[in-house]
Amino acid sequence: MLQPVKKLIQKDPFLFSAIIAFLIFIILSINFSFTYSTDDFSYLARSHSVEGLTLESFSGYVSRLPIWAIFTWIGFSSHFYDYYHFAMSFWFFIFSLSFAYLVKEILSILKIQVNHENDKYLIPIVLIPFLLYPTHHEVLYWATDFAYVIGLSFLTLGLKSINPMLKIIFFTLSFLTSEMYVFPLFSILFIDTFFNRKSYQNLIIFIIVSLIYFTIRKLLIPFYGDYSVGSKLTSNFRIILGNIYATIAMNFGMHFYKTIWSLTIPYWITIAFPLFNFCKDIYQKSSRNLVVIALSIPGSFCFYWLMSYGAARALFGSQNFINALIVAALFFYLKSSTKKSFTHYLIPLVILAIFLTFSIRTFMIKDKNYQVIQVAKMEVREALNQCNNTCIDTIPYKNLPIYRDWVMHPDYWNHFVKWSKLSP
């Protein structure tokens, strides 16, 4: 019975890690309910209406994020997202595969050899905890944001591709899913250029991809309208300082609309020594390469510093890039240790414990808010029954007791009311 498992671990420890992480996620989340949030109610209400949800409903988002818009439209209009937990699990599996192979590509770029015979158990030990990284909440636990995951898939496929044309196609699709992948890709290619002496190849590919990306966006504007990104940027120094702090907290901390330092500090302490040893080894080989990695990390999220509003989902790309680097560092540390002891393997176990603790905490918040939404939904239906549905546009907004989550905004109340009436 264990023979197929052993064969899979040896043949492809990255695939094995993704499958195990997915199974852990299913077991971990099965007893919790997850509520829809804000934008979800708009798409749900229209998908259940007589007119239905059309691609044109996404207006300027189609010209800005066409791949995200198409997948999100399909998810809601097909009513696939009506089965929230199933849809969330599906996208988590896509994420697991994408991140696992992203780590494989990062290891290759950093010239860290993976021996499938000697390292077949080490890869899952180090990788599985980070596949269960808990602060991707706005992408992995929010239906409107589920489709952002596909951008990570395209990014990974582009890195895996040997053919330059395929690289260009996949990288372009990644950018068209979200701008959140532009800077992380630049950081990855920046590292690759110096570590593997690719003088101009990466720069040429990035320029071509960027030109195609902006051309497609411009061509779509006459049909779907323009989404003004300029109005979302700021030059306010205080906001920029706040954003710099936010990028540190959300990229390196246990964050769910607030940084939980009681879990963040132990995490930093746990990874500090392996990261130090990794950096020390790189410095001894080439001080320039260490500078390259140091610059690539803030380079992957510096765009967020100029945003005029908070959006944790915008850091999904940089979080995965940084986590892939951390996994590579941990793998290198454990692999290169001459005297392996239980303490070495305790590091990924402690990280896993911290991540699972934070996940359960987040799931409990989600579940609590789900109950609040269900009560509100029943109250809305009762009010609609009393007025024979004539008051559907006049039911006043109710300030629900939502706990630390982006669930109900006044702008989406009317959509919530209509969804409460129309949904099965």
pLDDT digits (tens, 9 = 90+) for 186-222: 999 999 999 998 878 999 999 999 999 999 999 999 9
The predicted-structure confidence for 239-293, as pLDDT tens digits, reads as follows 999 999 999 999 999 999 889 999 999 999 999 999 999 999 999 999 999 999 9
Residue 87 pLDDT level (bands cut at 50, 70, 90): very high
Bridge partners of residue 259, in order along the sequence = 255
Average pLDDT over residues 354-366: 96
The predicted-structure confidence for 154-194, as pLDDT tens digits, reads as follows 999 999 999 999 999 999 999 999 999 999 999 999 999 99
Distances (CA, A) of 412 to 33, 44, 74, 277, 330: 21, 11, 21, 50, 44
- Which pLDDT belongs to residue 235? 84
Instruction: Say yes or no to pLDDT of 1 above 60.
Output: no
Instruction: Say yes or no to pLDDT of 84 above 60.
Output: yes
- Which pLDDT belongs to residue 137? 83
Instruction: Say yes or no to pLDDT of 321 above 90.
Output: yes
Query: pTM value?
Result: 0.94
- Whose structure tokens read 């399909």? 74
How is 251-295 classified by DSSP, letter by letter? HHS-BSSSB-HHHHHHHHHHHHHHHHHHHHHHHHH-HHHHHHHHH
Q: Which two tokens stand for residue 105?
A: 């590509």
CA 258 to chain centre: 17
DSSP H or E run through 240? helix 237-252
Instruction: Say yes or no to pLDDT of 153 above 80.
Output: yes
Cβ pair 278, 285 in contact under 8 A: no
- Which pLDDT belongs to residue 18? 97
